[in-house]
């Protein structure tokens, strides 16, 4: 044990990155497992576990490489097999254990790990033992003569390494395929898909980079020292290139998770806004549609804060209907919905209420007509309409034409203060009817409504000829069924809209939008007052709301008794119901992947430091100035950084296209707006920049060529006399 | 001013040990000088101090009156080394290892490659030019190191055990080339254990426990 501890101390520089990696892995995996369980999906940790396993391979190989000479000596002394592996494993496993315990401590700050943490620690130690054991096993199978040689020999990519690269590609392909199946493949595989795609992209990048560098060797024969050396280092050394794969994989994973989290956050925000429809929403029970309209107008007669709304359940066309007091929409709802898919509603809402003169408001009837032919003694106009109190009424005008046949009148009409709907018009003539040819209506405005236009009387000409006009007039046009209700609808055929009584009314879509307040992505919006006209008692299945602005005085709100919900409350409810926390946990896992990749990159680059120092010393001894050598390292890092930037950008975009709408990170109800899973340039650029910064800063620090540490005299160290 | 490589009262201490102790010696152009002595006697340290890789703790080293220590451990451009541990650059091929020394002195890449090719041929390893040095045997690496030291036609050539890995034939070949360098007018200093090589040199100094014994 003492010997092991001494060995641990003497090799602390090589073992410290392994311990740090173990600490990061145990802490990150524990926290993510605990968070994943809270979100009901422990599999969210799968990307981190996948990258964690890969991150252990390189240090394991390096540790095994470091112990080659020791292994050779032990073999010469007759030690071998599992006993030797066990002997060589003791130090690194102790380092992993120590790091893991530290990680456990860190995890306990963020979550209560308990048994989970211990299991993660045990799994990490076992994983590390396997990785290092396999790497040691490879070295122990080397011929002893090769193992004791002091000359380092170049190692071609082993069959196992090539196989591992191809395996990463195959695993990524299968994970994408599994995620697209219905039902999806194994959940852990789908959860791990971003990391697997990232690893595949990282592997392809490494192959491309090294292949390109090899091709560039011949073309840079005449280049200056910087590119000349950088290209050869990239082509012939794995130093910077190999850890790049892990960085790319982690950055792709984090970027995909970031896009998913942003998408999910955006969806929750949109859905909550659509659901609440105003800063404050009060649901009233046992209140009829007309009553809520009356209530809002009574409490807030100037329409400054309140808006009545009624939601009807699905009709025959599968759509829900929302009826709003559209005159107040702009003031109460439009602001809150301005950032949602329902934003275009405010541009069209004006067409719902008074559109085409179909909804009257006002108190007068203005008539101007002319009878051609023989002038009757009296012309009678019966205008049927539905009052603003939902009563059917008829306003009758009896007008005596002048000798020249001109008919003119201006009379009061009741029940139209809050809006009324004309439903029929009958024109009749009395006395001296023989010889009347027609009545030309120049003007017939009913509560502001142009009746000839509403009833489709082309040119306003009424044919009044006939032996008798005392019976039902041929001009009678019942409009309650003939004039469609203007609506704003989501995509799909829209021929009907439900009234507050649950009955179907003919509808005509004036605009199409992606989503509507209170009903989501499958619904129809109509004006409440217009829909109320002629409606029977409100359907019991209708939900009645008062929508209110955020600045509604408390006294006004106090007058509304019902379940009150604010945007924040609805947001929290939608967030919880949709499981949006899963996307945040996935993002946490992605960031942890970046942390692990950073440590692995630094450890990988640090291991090359001695080699780089010797290389630099060898070049300084032949007269190359340090500045040119530093330039070559900068070129190398820049190439790797830019390659990483491009790979992460393109890789994240590709992974997003392949995976984002397939990852089970959000439970979207059937009628809800579909999440926008398009790549977000900001997130893509951020992920790519993180990769660039990691490579340039972390690798740059690890590959910094210090003058004192790379003096040519370093080369005599092994042969000091 | 005489173009001598001179060490005057040079001592070198490190980690509480004195590796060189008050050494005064001159190496002459056109001559091959052998430095011999037991292992650990200070031969490599003496070459390092003489070539400007190490700063002497006391005393001075100069070539043609110019101090060899430049303050950063880099050798002067007039100096070339053949190192005991070769000091070859693993990322470069054998030819590139030789040509990089010429490029470092401002020779155009194409000409540098051509001269490197010729230098490898001089050491009978022209066919190994495209191989990475890690693929070469110890003897082949040592000849690449010799070619790299000779190709720049330096005024001072310091060779540390340049034939330790070589067979009899190649040892003779390397010594011939070093002799050619001396005949060209270079100061050639050779650290070796091999008494046969000592015999081939014009001068011989023995160093023991950091002191010049002869």
Q: Which residues pair with A184 in a beta bridge?
A: none
A151/B87 Cβ within 8 A: no
- At B203 the pLDDT is 93
User: How many whole angstroms separate alpha carbon A25 and alpha carbon A29?
Assistant: 6
- At A475 the pLDDT is 32
CA-based nearest distance B23→chain A, Å: 15
Tokens 């660039």 locate to: A692
A721/B45 Cβ within 8 A: yes
- Report which DSSP code applies to B34: E
List Cα–Cα distances, A263 to A189, A683, B185, in angstroms. Answer: 22, 11, 76
- At A392 the pLDDT is 66
A156 at the B interface (CB within 8 A)?
no
List Cα–Cα distances, A344 to A306, A487, A512, A672, in angstroms. Answer: 21, 13, 9, 17
Which one of B47, B48, B85, B91 would you mutate to disrupt binding with A, by most A Cβ within 10 Å of its Cβ? B91
- Concatenating the DSSP letter of every residue in A383-410 gives EEEE-TTS-EEEEEEEE---TT-EEEEE
Tell the burial category of B199 from Cβ atoms under 10 Å away from its Cβ (0-12, 13-18, 19+).
exposed
Nearest CA in chain B to A718: B85
B160/A719 Cβ within 8 A: yes
pLDDT: which is higher, A311 or A221: A311
Q: What mean pLDDT comes out for the span A481-504? A: 80
* B158: pLDDT strictly greater than 60: yes
- At A719 the pLDDT is 40
Helix (H, G, I), strand (E, B) or coil at A551: coil
- Report which DSSP code applies to A675: P
Query: Do A618 and A252 touch, CB atoms closer than 8 A?
Result: no
Query: Do A144 and A73 touch, CB atoms closer than 8 A?
Result: no
The full 3-state SS of A23-89, as one line of letters, equals HHHHHHHHHHHHHHHHCCCHHHHHHHHHHHHHHHHHHHHHHHHHCHHHHHHHHHCCCCHHHHHHHHH
What are the tokens at B133? 């040095």
Query: Do A280 and A337 touch, CB atoms closer than 8 A?
Result: no
- Looking at the partner chain, which of B54, B74, B85 has a beta carbon nearest the beta carbon of A620? B74
Beta strands in B90-202 (DSSP E): 156-160, 187-191
- At B125 the pLDDT is 93
B39 at the A interface (CB within 8 A)?
yes
Which one of A225, A608, A610, A623 would you mutate to disrupt binding with B, by most B Cβ within 10 Å of its Cβ? A623
Among A246-255, A357-366, A545-554, A677-686, whose mean pLDDT is lowest? A357-366
End-to-end CA distance of chain A: give it in Å, rounded.
36
- Read off the pLDDT of residues A237-263 as tens digits, 9 standing for 90 and up: 877 788 889 999 999 999 999 999 999
- Read off the pLDDT of residues B8-51 as tens digits, 9 standing for 90 and up: 999 999 888 999 999 999 999 999 999 999 888 899 999 999 99
Percent of chain A residues past pLDDT 90, beyond the cut: 31
**Region for A373 from its dihedrals, namely left if φ exceeds 0, alpha if ψ lies in -120 to 50, beta otherwise:** left
**Cβ-based neighbour number of residue A28 at 10 Å:** 28
- Looking at the partner chain, which of B54, B101, B160 has a beta carbon nearest the beta carbon of A623? B101
Query: Do B54 and B27 touch, CB atoms closer than 8 A?
Result: no
- At A465 the pLDDT is 45
User: How many whole angstroms separate alpha carbon A256 and alpha carbon A684?
Assistant: 8
CA-based nearest distance B209→chain A, Å: 9
Is the ipTM value over 0.90, yes or no?
yes
A720 at the B interface (CB within 8 A)?
yes
A229/B88 Cβ within 8 A: no
- Read off the pLDDT of residues A319-341 as tens digits, 9 standing for 90 and up: 899 999 988 888 899 888 988 99
- At A471 the pLDDT is 30
- At A431 the pLDDT is 59
Please choose, from the candidates B170, B159, B165, B171, the residue with its C-alpha nearest in 3D space to the C-alpha of residue B196. B171
Highest mean pLDDT among A372-386, A662-676, B111-125: B111-125
Q: Rounded to an integer, what is the distance from CA A425 to the centroid of its chain?
A: 54
Strands A449-450 and A461-463: unpaired
Among A23-32, A163-172, A429-438, A687-696, whose mean pLDDT is lowest? A429-438
* A354: pLDDT strictly greater than 50: no
Nearest CA in chain B to A710: B73
A719/B41 Cβ within 8 A: no
What are the tokens at A256? 């995909």
A 209-268 residues inside an 8 A Cβ radius of B: 221-223, 225, 228-229, 232-233, 235-237
Helix (H, G, I), strand (E, B) or coil at A537: coil
**What is the average pLDDT score of chain B?**
92
Q: What mean pLDDT comes out for the span B189-205? A: 91
Query: Do A390 and A532 touch, CB atoms closer than 8 A?
Result: yes
Q: What mean pLDDT comes out for the span A106-129? A: 85
- At A309 the pLDDT is 94
Q: Which residues, 6 or more positions from A536, have their beta carbon under 8 angstroms from its beta carbon?
A: A501, A503
- Report which DSSP code applies to A715: G
Nearest CA in chain A to B109: A222
B89/A712 Cβ within 8 A: no
- Read off the pLDDT of residues A596-638 as tens digits, 9 standing for 90 and up: 999 998 888 888 888 888 999 999 999 999 999 999 999 999 9
* A356: pLDDT strictly greater than 60: no
Q: What mean pLDDT comes out for the span A637-641? A: 91
B87/A621 Cβ within 8 A: yes
User: How many whole angstroms separate alpha carbon A155 and alpha carbon A149?
Assistant: 14
A721 at the B interface (CB within 8 A)?
yes
B138 at the A interface (CB within 8 A)?
yes
Note the pTM of the prediction, 2 decimals. 0.80
- Report which DSSP code applies to A699: I
Q: What mean pLDDT comes out for the span B190-212? A: 91
List Cα–Cα distances, A152 to A72, A146, A256, A692, A705, in angstroms. Answer: 15, 9, 41, 32, 22
Please choose, from the candidates A164, A207, A210, A218, the residue with its C-alpha nearest in 3D space to the C-alpha of residue A50. A164
What are the tokens at A334? 């439009």
* B144: pLDDT strictly greater than 90: yes
- At A460 the pLDDT is 60
B181 at the A interface (CB within 8 A)?
no
* A428: pLDDT strictly greater than 70: yes
Query: Do A518 and A507 touch, CB atoms closer than 8 A?
Result: no
- At A408 the pLDDT is 87
Q: Give the torsion through C-alpha atoms of A286, A292, A294, A299, to 10 deg.
A: 110
User: How many whole angstroms separate alpha carbon A495 and alpha carbon A509?
Assistant: 8
B 110-129 residues inside an 8 A Cβ radius of A: 110, 113
The full 3-state SS of A147-185, as one line of letters, equals HHCCCCCCCCCCHHHHHHHHHHHHHHHHHHHHHHCCCCC
- At A151 the pLDDT is 58
B 160-179 residues inside an 8 A Cβ radius of A: 160-161
- A223 contacts in chain B (CB < 8 Å): 109
B130 at the A interface (CB within 8 A)?
no
**Apex CA A446: angle with CA A442 and CA A451, to 5°?**
55
> CA torsion sign, B69 to B72 to B78 to B84?
positive
Q: Rounded to an integer, what is the distance from CA A538 to the centroid of its chain?
A: 38
Q: What mean pLDDT comes out for the span B134-152? A: 93
Query: Do B50 and B26 touch, CB atoms closer than 8 A?
Result: no
């Amino acid at each position: 044990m003492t010997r092991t501890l001494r060995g641990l101390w003497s090799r602390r520089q090589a073992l410290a990155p392994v311990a740090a990696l173990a600490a990061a892995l145990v802490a990150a995996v524990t926290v993510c497992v605990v968070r994943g369980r809270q979100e009901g999906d422990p599999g969210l940790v799968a990307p981190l576990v996948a990258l964690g396993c890969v991150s252990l391979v390189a240090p394991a190989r390096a540790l095994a490489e470091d112990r080659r000479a020791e292994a050779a000596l032990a073999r010469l002394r007759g030690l071998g097999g599992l006993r030797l592996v066990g002997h060589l494993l003791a130090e690194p496993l102790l380092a992993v254990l120590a790091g893991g315990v530290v990680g456990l401590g860190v995890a306990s700050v963020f979550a209560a790990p308990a048994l989970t943490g211990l299991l993660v620690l045990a799994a990490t130690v076992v994983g590390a033992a396997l990785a290092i054991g396999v790497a040691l096993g490879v070295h122990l199978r080397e011929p002893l003569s090769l193992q004791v040689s002091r000359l380092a020999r170049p190692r071609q990519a082993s069959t196992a390494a090539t196989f591992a690269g191809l395996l990463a590609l195959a695993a990524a392909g299968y994970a994408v395929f599994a995620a697209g199946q219905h039902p999806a493949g194994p959940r852990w595989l789908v959860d791990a898909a971003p990391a697997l795609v990232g690893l595949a992209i990282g592997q392809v990048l490494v192959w491309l980079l090294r292949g390109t560098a090899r091709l560039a060797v011949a073309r840079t024969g005449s280049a200056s020292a910087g590119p000349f050396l950088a290209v050869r280092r990239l082509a012939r050394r794995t130093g910077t290139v190999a850890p790049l794969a892990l960085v790319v994989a982690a950055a792709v994973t984090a970027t995909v998770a970031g896009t998913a989290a942003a998408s999910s956050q955006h969806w929750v925000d949109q859905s909550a806004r659509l659901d609440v429809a105003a800063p404050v929403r009060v649901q009233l029970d046992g209140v009829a549609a007309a009553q809520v309209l009356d209530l809002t107008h009574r409490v807030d007669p100037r329409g400054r804060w309140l808006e009545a709304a009624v939601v009807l359940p699905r009709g025959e066309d599968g759509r829900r209907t929302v009826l709003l007091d559209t005159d107040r929409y702009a003031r109460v709802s439009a602001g809150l919905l301005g950032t949602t898919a329902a934003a275009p509603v405010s541009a069209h809402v004006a067409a719902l209420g008074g559109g085409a003169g179909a909804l009257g408001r006002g108190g007068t009837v203005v008539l101007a007509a002319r009878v051609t032919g023989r002038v009757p003694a009296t012309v009678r106009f019966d205008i049927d309409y539905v009052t603003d109190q939902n009563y059917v009424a008829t306003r009758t005008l009896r007008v005596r034409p002048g000798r020249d046949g001109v008919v003119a009148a201006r009379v009061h009409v009741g029940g139209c203060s809050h809006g009324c709907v004309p439903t029929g018009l009958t024109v009749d003539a009395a006395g001296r009817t023989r010889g009347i040819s027609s009545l030309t209506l120049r003007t017939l405005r009913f509560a502001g409504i142009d009746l000839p236009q509403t009833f489709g009387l082309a040119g306003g000409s009424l044919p009044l000829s006939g032996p008798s006009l005392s019976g039902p007039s041929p001009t009678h046009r019942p409009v309650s069924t003939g004039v469609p209700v203007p609506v704003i609808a989501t995509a799909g055929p829209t021929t009907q809209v439900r009234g507050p009584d649950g009955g179907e009314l003919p509808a005509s879509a004036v605009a199409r939008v992606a989503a509507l307040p209170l009903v989501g992505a499958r619904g129809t919006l109509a004006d409440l007052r217009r829909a109320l006209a002629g409606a029977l008692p409100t359907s019991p299945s209708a939900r009645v709301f008062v929508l209110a602005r955020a600045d509604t005085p408390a006294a006004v709100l106090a007058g509304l008794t019902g379940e009150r919900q604010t945007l924040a409350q609805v947001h929290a409810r939608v967030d919880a119901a949709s499981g949006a926390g899963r996307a945040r946990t996935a993002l946490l896992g992605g960031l942890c992947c970046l942390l692990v990749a950073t440590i692995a990159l630094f450890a990988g680059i640090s291991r090359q430091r001695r080699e780089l120092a010797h290389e630099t010393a060898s070049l300084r001894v032949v007269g190359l100035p340090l500045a040119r050598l530093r330039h070559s390292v900068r070129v190398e890092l820049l190439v790797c950084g830019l390659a990483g930037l491009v790979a992460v950008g393109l890789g994240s975009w590709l992974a997003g296209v392949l995976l984002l709408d397939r990852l089970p990170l959000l439970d979207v109800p059937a009628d809800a707006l579909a999440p926008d899973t398009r790549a977000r340039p900001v997130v893509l650029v951020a992920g790519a920049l993180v990769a660039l910064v990691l490579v340039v800063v972390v690798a740059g620090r690890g590959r910094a060529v210090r003058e004192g540490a790379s003096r040519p005299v370093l080369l005599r160290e092994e042969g000091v006399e | 001013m005489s173009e001598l490589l001179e060490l005057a009262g040079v001592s070198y201490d490190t980690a509480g040990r004195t590796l060189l102790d008050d050494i005064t010696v001159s190496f002459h152009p056109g001559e091959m000088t052998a430095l011999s002595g037991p292992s650990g006697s200070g031969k490599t340290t003496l070459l390092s101090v003489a070539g400007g890789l190490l700063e002497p703790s006391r005393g001075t080293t100069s070539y043609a009156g110019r101090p060899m220590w430049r303050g950063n451990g880099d050798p002067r451009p007039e100096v070339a080394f053949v190192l005991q541990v070769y000091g070859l650059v693993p990322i470069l091929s054998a030819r590139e290892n030789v040509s990089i020394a010429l490029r470092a002195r401002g020779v155009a890449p194409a000409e540098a490659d051509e001269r490197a090719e010729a230098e490898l041929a001089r050491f009978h390893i022209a066919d190994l030019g495209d191989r990475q040095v890690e693929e070469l045997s110890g003897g082949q690496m040592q000849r690449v190191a010799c070619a790299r030291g000779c190709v720049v036609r330096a005024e001072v050539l310091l060779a540390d055990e340049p034939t330790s890995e070589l067979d009899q034939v190649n040892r003779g070949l390397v010594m011939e080339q070093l002799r050619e360098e001396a005949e060209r007018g270079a100061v050639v200093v050779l650290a070796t254990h091999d008494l046969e090589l000592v015999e081939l040199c014009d001068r011989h100094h023995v160093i023991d426990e950091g002191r010049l014994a002869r």
